[in-house]
């Protein structure tokens, strides 16, 4: 009842009731993996429909090139080092997680009368007694798996068929399915998980609309992360093999939510954001088990464009005009922009040190974007080695340090695969407006001398402003691995419940 009263009292910056909000976050989806971005054999009709009828962000960047730090940046509007979400990703046995002191999107929306829910992957920690799970960071409801499916044994990926690859985590605890803060299934039957997530999400939406409570739903897919999996509806239906099957199933789930909103008469009044947590895993492209960065260089876990330039779509017919928006934008900007949509300004955020910008003027009124720079910080950076690997400043990008990664092994580019880091003095310089594929290096050209000097100065200034919190990746304990029968023996085989 209190939520109903709050929802009726508040109104947004446009003088009408606040929108419902759905954030679709796909895992490891590359910029070139969708129909609307040009892939010739991908089937993504529902996402493509949103792109045709929404605003396409063509220069949209994830918060990091790997899962955990990227998701932290999205929810907090802050570069990952500020929250300690570095240098890599959290594993089931890590003690740490997103600190309770971080202010998140769902926490801010709850203060404004929203009902909040997360379906799918979390990957910001579990911790002792589940203290880092979503319900402790502003979500009212949670239905999902707290980390990537490759962090537990691959027991089944397809109905009646073995997975494409053997599991490297065969001796680990099985993947758990949480409902709120309780495990309701362990191990997970992956071929059925996407339909379950879609049904749960649809019911959450239906219930909130019937109760007339504004809602925020974050649907965080396990697709299209390796290993690939899909239900029998989509197995062997794509020309792209198992990867294409998983893209198709992801797109189907998006369509299920769109259809539900349409049936409820609330599609036009719902702000939908669609994006990916980082660039694609490029390994095993020949086996149709890898993503595609499109024209961008390299992929996941690198600071080349393919690692962090991701799809971005905004769909809100009531307020956002369909168009292609080339403005520089990022995950970091989602939090302040949402609050500006609701409050009319971001003054309530003045006590939070944010790295995001309010893009309301750009998105709604086509004003120039206030974002002029973007920082790329490698997943391998430690606090003792803190620094910026690359800097985007307006049209130019300077690489001060580069390093490939095993996830981005590519037949076409030796820079993408694993190897030692390379420092560059002078930095590698590219004009992304003219050369988004980073093919033509400009630092030796005298006419870019002033550009290089400016980028070096900006880098040094921004590094002085960047606060590196203690890493939350330190410390492990097998006892924090989720188990539905925590006192059972022997583990992990006894962690089984349905």
Active site residues: 67, 123
- Please give the helix or strand (H or E) that residue 475 lies within, else none: none
Q: Which helix (H) or strand (E) covers residue 396, if one does? A: strand 396-402
Give 94's DSSP letter.
Answer: B
Here the tokens at position 265 are 């008469």
Question: How many Å apart are CA 229 and CA 155, to the nearest integer?
Answer: 11
Q: Are 470 and 96 in contact (CB under 8 A)?
A: no
The crossing angle, in degrees rounded to 10, of helices 45-52 and 241-264 is 60
Looking only at the bridges linking them, the beta strands covering 396-402 and 177-179 are: unpaired
- Distance separating the N- and C-terminal Cα atoms of the chain: 34
Q: What is the DSSP letter of 40?
A: S
Q: What are the angstrom distances between the C-alpha of 41 and each of 27, 33, 245, 276, 455? A: 19, 9, 11, 19, 40
Q: Looking at residue 228, what DSSP letter applies?
A: P
For residues 172 and 160, the answer to whether their CB atoms sit within 8 Å is no
Q: Name, in order, each residue with C-beta under 8 angstroms of 490's C-beta and a sequence gap of 6 or more.
A: none
- Spatial contact of 76 and 464, defined as CB atoms under 8 Å apart: no
Report the side by side order of strands in the sheet with 422-431: 373-376, 390-393, 396-402, 422-431
Q: Tell the burial category of 167 from Cβ atoms under 10 Å away from its Cβ (0-12, 13-18, 19+).
A: middle
Q: H-helix or E-strand containing 359?
A: none
Helices (H) and strands (E) in the chain, counts: 11, 14
CB burial string 382-398: b at 16+ within 10 A, e below: eeeeeebbbbbbeebbb
Instruction: With beta carbons less than 8 A apart as the criterion, state whether 279 and 310 touch.
Output: yes
Give backbone dihedrals phi and psi of 424, rounded to 5 degrees, phi first: -125, 120
Residue 285 burial by Cβ neighbours in a 10 Å radius (0-12, 13-18, 19+): middle
Token pair of 378, please? 């490698």
């Amino acid at each position: 009842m209190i939520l109903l009263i709050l929802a009726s009292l508040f109104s947004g910056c446009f003088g009408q009731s606040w929108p419902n909000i759905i954030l679709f976050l796909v895992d490891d989806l590359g910029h070139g993996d969708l129909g609307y971005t040009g892939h010739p054999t991908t089937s993504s009709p529902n996402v493509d429909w949103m792109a045709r009828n929404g605003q396409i962000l063509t220069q949209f960047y994830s918060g990091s090139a790997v899962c955990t730090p990227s998701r932290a940046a999205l929810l907090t509007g802050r570069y990952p080092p500020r929250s300690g979400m570095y240098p890599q990703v959290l594993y089931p046995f890590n003690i740490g997680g997103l600190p309770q002191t971080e202010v998140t999107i769902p926490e801010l929306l709850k203060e404004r009368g929203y009902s909040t829910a997360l379906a799918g992957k979390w990957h910001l920690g579990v911790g002792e007694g589940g203290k880092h799970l979503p319900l402790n960071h502003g979500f009212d409801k949670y239905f999902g798996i707290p980390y990537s499916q490759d962090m537990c044994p691959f027991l089944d990926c397809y109905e009646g068929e073995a997975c494409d690859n053997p599991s490297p985590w065969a001796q680990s605890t099985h993947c758990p399915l949480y409902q709120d803060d309780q495990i309701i299934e362990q191990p997970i039957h992956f071929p059925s998980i996407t339909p379950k997530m879609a049904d749960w999400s649809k019911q959450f939406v239906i219930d909130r609309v019937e109760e007339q409570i504004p809602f925020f739903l974050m649907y965080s897919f396990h697709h299209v992360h390796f290993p690939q999996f899909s239900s029998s509806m989509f197995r062997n239906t794509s020309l792209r093999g198992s990867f294409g099957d998983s893209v198709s199933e992801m797109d189907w789930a998006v369509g299920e939510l769109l259809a539900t909103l349409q049936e409820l008469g609330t599609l036009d009044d719902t702000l939908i954001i669609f994006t990916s947590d980082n660039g694609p895993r490029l390994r095993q492209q020949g086996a149709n088990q890898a993503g595609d960065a499109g024209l961008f260089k390299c992929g996941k876990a690198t600071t080349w464009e393919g690692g962090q330039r991701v799809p971005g779509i905004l769909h809100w017919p009531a307020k956002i005009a369909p168009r292609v928006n080339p403005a520089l934008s990022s995950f970091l900007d989602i939090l302040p922009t949402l609050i500006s949509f609701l409050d009319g300004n971001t003054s309530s955020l003045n006590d939070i040190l944010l790295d995001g910008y309010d893009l309301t003027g750009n998105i709604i009124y086509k004003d120039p974007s206030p974002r002029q720079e973007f920082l790329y910080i490698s997943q391998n950076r430690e606090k003792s080695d803190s620094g910026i690997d690359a800097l985007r400043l307006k049209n130019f990008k300077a690489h001060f340090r580069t390093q490939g990664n095993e996830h981005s092994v590519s037949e076409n580019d030796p820079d993408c695969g694993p190897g030692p880091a390379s420092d560059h003095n002078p930095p590698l310089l590219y004009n992304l407006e003219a050369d988004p594929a980073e093919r033509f290096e400009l630092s030796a050209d005298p006419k870019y001398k002033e550009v290089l000097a400016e980028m070096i100065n900006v880098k040094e200034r921004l590094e002085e402003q960047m606060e590196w919190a203690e890493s939350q990746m330190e410390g492990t304990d097998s006892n924090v691995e989720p188990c539905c029968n925590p006192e059972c023996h022997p583990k992990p085989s006894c962690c089984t419940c349905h």
